[in-house]
Each structure stands twice: as structure tokens, then as C-alpha cells.
């Protein structure tokens, strides 16, 4: 990329994917601005797993030691039967997974991950209160306009605006993501509320028609997180802030193992979120406007790969842009899609099956992937 006049980039959305791509493109000399609809960045009460394929990318942003200081470092990922607690699978984590894939598996508060990636973004480029309402992708440089009347243009616009992506709707027409019929209840709370109870490192309790995943989110085990998946008719709202009914949640899990019930008993409040999915899109870009993360490949969370793949997208997109000048942007975006789509489509499909790690599972193709070194050629299905 010639740096005589830097490529100007507008990123729509300051989620994990938007912040990551903004940080990476800034590092290679692009002039980046981020436009986020929210008036402030909220710290949502949820945990997040970052597998080695994500942490290997974040390492290049200089975030590894900061994340290690904050995050819980699990030694095992365990699958158990919902009622007996019989172990059906154990994934060695800790040093074992780190030496296998060259990067750690970390469990953390979502807000800590977000804050970490934000710290890698140059100051002054994040613009809050900017809700995208329109994009004109054709004819010269693409333009975007916002609800407050602001109009901008850039050499490249990246829609990292999440599962209900306005960018995606503008480029390809409105198609709603598919509601899976299932609901995730989730929350984080102080581990001290559980009294003497110590939970295993990361456990997924598999019931016949529902499950719950429980883990610590801080290095010193001071905070606990859980997330469920269960059928609940008539609820299809995806909002990070919708309150769930804790007593109803406890009833749903009444027959589960006493350890699960003890965790649910200790939890003071909970949020709920409808789980959605989408078939792989036919295309991820038009001209010099491209999609990234949930905007192009939303998935059910059963492999914990949504943010991880958005972070991988960011690395590959920045590598494709680094190879070209302004004139080559649309070709670079086609290459980005060709490299990424087979992988994200395979992960979307596997996640929807909700069998990942229930029994012995080959995880190499997911956790062993390095977005910094994967060849920049159209990829075959993994």
C-alpha cells in the first residue's frame, strides 16, 4: 500500500469486530474513523470465551499480557450430563491447549475484552451517537449518512454493525436473521454469592432439550458467568438489556444437577437474548463497501466463535487491504471474502448443530487457525 495519501476507512459499529478492524487498519497506515450508534459504550453483564484462534490475533495488537492479567485461565473444558453430572468429554485447556495451538484459551468479562480492543484503537477516531441510515456504494467514493444528518465519504466502508446490520440491508435488501426458537439467559455475578461453592473451570451441562455453560470470568475467580439455551416460545428480542425472570429460569433447570441449581440460586438477576442464525450470504461486499463479523455471518453461540471469527475477519481484511492501493480496494474485498467465507460458513453450520464438544471433538480446524498466516488465496472448505 502506498502511503502518500492514506486510504480513508469508515467503520460502522464499535463492537468487537469493528474495533478490531479499526485497530488493525490504523496500524498499517489507513486513516480510520468509527461510527457507533450508541451514545456510550456499555459494559454488558456477560462473559466471553476467547479460543487460541482469537488470542493469536489479539496478541499482534499487543493485548495478550493485559488479557492474561484480567481473564480466567481455565485448565479444562468439561461436558457433563445435566442430571447425573457424568463427564462425557474433557478438553484439556491451560498449558496443554496453549502448547498445541501456540496461544492461550481465556475466559473473561465481555467488557474487559471490549475495553482491551478499544485500547488498541487510536484516540479520537470513535464517533458515538452516529446511527447509520444510508449508504451509497456506487459512483466514486462510497458515502454514508447518519440519523443526525452527518454525511461522510471514504475510500472503504466496513459494515461491522452486528446481526441486524443496516449495511447488509442496504447492500443486499432486507432479510431478517432466523430466530432459532431458543433463548439465552445470561449474567455475571460475584462468586462470593455462591458461598463455599467452587465451580469447575468451564462446564457445559447438557440436558435433553436445554443446556447451561458456567465459568469464571476473572483471573482470581471473583466473578461467575452462565449462559443458557432453552426453548421459549414467543420471545424473539435480541437486546443486551432485556431482563429475564430469575425464578422462571430456576424452574426451567429444576431437575438439573445440584451444582447448577446452586449457581442459579446464587444469581441475583439475569438478562435474556433470543438466539438467531443466518444462512451464509451470497456476497459480503459491493464495490468498496464490505461486511464483517455478525453483519455477514451471525451464528448461534454454541461454539463460542462469533467474536473470535469477527476478530479473524479483521486480521484478514487488513492483510488484503495492505496489499493494494486505493484502486485495488474492491478486488481486495473480493479476496477477503474468498479467504474467509468457507471457514465462517463451516463454523456457522457446525455451531447450529449444537454438538460441539459434547463428546470427543476434533477442534484443530477451529482453534489451530491463524488469521495472520493463512494464505491469502481463495480457501477450500475446511
> Judged by CB under 6 A, which of 25, 32, 91, 132 binds ligand FAD?
132
Residue 15 CB, shortest distance to ligand FAD, in Å, is 2
The closest alpha carbon to 151, from 25, 33, 22, belongs to: 33
Q: Are 185 and 206 in contact (CB under 8 A)?
A: no
**CA–CA gap between residue 63 and residue 118 (Å, rounded):** 10
Residue 21 CB, shortest distance to ligand FAD, in Å, is 9
Q: Which span sits near ligand FAD by CB under 6 A: 25-33, 36-44, 253-261, 317-325?
A: 36-44
Concatenating the DSSP letter of every residue in 76-136 gives EEEEEETTT--EEEEEE-HHHHHHHHSS--EEEEHHHHHHHHHHTSPTT-EE-S--EEEEE
> Judged by CB under 6 A, which of 9, 10, 18, 111 binds ligand FAD?
18
> Does the active-site annotation cover 215?
yes
Whole-angstrom CA distances from 308 to 56, 260, 367 are 10, 27, 10
Q: Which span sits near ligand FAD by CB under 6 A: 57-65, 159-167, 192-200, 325-333?
A: 159-167
Residue 55 CB, shortest distance to ligand FAD, in Å, is 11
- Which residues are registered as beta bridge partners of 277? 178
> Judged by CB under 6 A, which of 7, 15, 72, 319 binds ligand FAD?
15
Q: Which span sits near ligand FAD by CB under 6 A: 10-18, 200-208, 254-262, 329-337?
A: 10-18
**CA–CA gap between residue 204 and residue 183 (Å, rounded):** 16
Grid coordinates belonging to 293: 463479523
Active-site residue, selected from the candidate residues 73, 185, 215, 336: 215
Nearer to ligand FAD, 286 or 305 (CB): 305
Q: Which span sits near ligand FAD by CB under 6 A: 13-21, 80-88, 243-251, 338-346?
A: 13-21
| Segment holding 143, helix H or strand E | strand 143-146
* Residues binding ligand FAD (CB under 6 A): 12-18, 35-38, 48-49, 130-132, 160-162, 166, 184, 186, 227, 273, 293-295, 301, 304-308, 310
Give the residue numbers annotated as catalytic, written as ranges. 215
Amino acid at each position: 500500500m502506498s502511503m502518500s495519501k492514506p486510504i480513508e476507512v469508515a467503520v460502522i459499529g464499535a463492537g468487537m469486530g469493528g474495533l478490531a478492524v479499526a485497530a488493525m487498519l490504523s496500524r498499517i497506515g489507513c486513516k480510520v474513523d468509527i461510527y457507533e450508534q450508541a451514545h456510550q459504550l456499555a459494559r454488558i453483564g456477560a462473559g466471553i470465551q476467547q479460543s487460541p484462534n482469537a488470542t493469536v490475533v489479539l496478541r499482534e495488537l499487543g493485548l495478550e499480557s493485559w488479557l492474561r492479567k484480567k481473564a480466567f485461565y481455565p485448565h479444562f473444558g468439561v461436558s457433563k450430563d445435566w442430571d447425573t453430572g457424568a463427564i462425557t468429554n474433557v478438553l484439556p485447556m491451560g498449558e496443554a491447549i496453549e502448547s498445541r495451538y501456540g496461544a492461550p484459551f481465556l475466559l473473561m468479562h465481555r467488557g474487559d475484552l471490549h475495553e482491551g480492543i478499544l485500547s488498541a484503537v487510536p484516540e479520537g477516531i470513535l464517533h458515538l451517537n452516529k446511527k447509520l441510515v444510508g449508504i451509497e456504494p456506487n459512483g466514486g467514493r462510497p458515502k454514508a449518512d447518519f440519523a443526525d444528518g452527518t454525511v461522510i465519504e471514504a475510500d472503504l466502508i466496513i459494515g461491522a454493525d452486528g446481526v441486524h446490520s443496516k449495511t447488509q440491508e442496504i447492500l443486499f435488501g432486507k432479510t431478517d436473521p432466523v430466530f432459532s426458537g431458543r433463548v439465552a439467559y445470561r449474567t455475571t455475578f460475584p462468586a462470593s454469592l455462591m458461598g463455599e461453592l467452587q465451580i469447575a473451570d468451564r462446564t457445559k451441562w447438557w440436558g435433553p432439550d436445554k443446556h447451561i455453560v458456567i465459568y469464571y470470568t476473572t483471573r482470581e475467580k471473583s466473578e461467575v458467568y452462565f449462559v443458557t439455551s432453552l426453548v421459549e416460545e414467543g420471545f424473539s428480542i435480541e437486546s443486551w438489556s432485556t431482563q429475564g425472570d430469575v425464578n422462571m429460569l430456576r424452574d426451567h433447570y429444576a431437575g438439573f444437577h445440584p451444582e447448577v441449581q446452586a449457581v442459579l440460586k446464587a444469581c441475583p438477576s439475569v438478562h435474556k437474548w433470543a438466539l438467531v442464525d443466518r444462512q451464509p450470504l451470497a456476497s459480503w461486499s459491493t464495490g468498496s463497501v464490505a461486511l464483517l463479523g455478525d453483519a455477514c455471518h451471525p451464528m448461534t453461540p454454541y461454539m463460542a466463535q462469533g467474536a473470535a471469527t469477527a476478530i479473524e475477519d479483521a486480521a484478514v481484511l487488513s492483510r488484503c487491504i495492505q496489499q493494494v492501493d486505493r484502486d485495488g480496494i474492491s478486488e481486495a474485498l473480493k479476496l477477503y471474502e474468498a479467504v474467509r467465507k468457507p471457514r465462517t460458513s463451516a463454523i456457522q453450520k457446525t455451531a447450529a448443530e449444537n454438538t460441539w464438544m459434547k463428546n470427543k471433538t476434533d477442534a484443530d480446524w477451529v482453534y489451530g487457525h491463524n488469521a495472520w498466516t493463512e494464505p491469502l488465496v481463495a480457501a477450500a472448505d475446511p
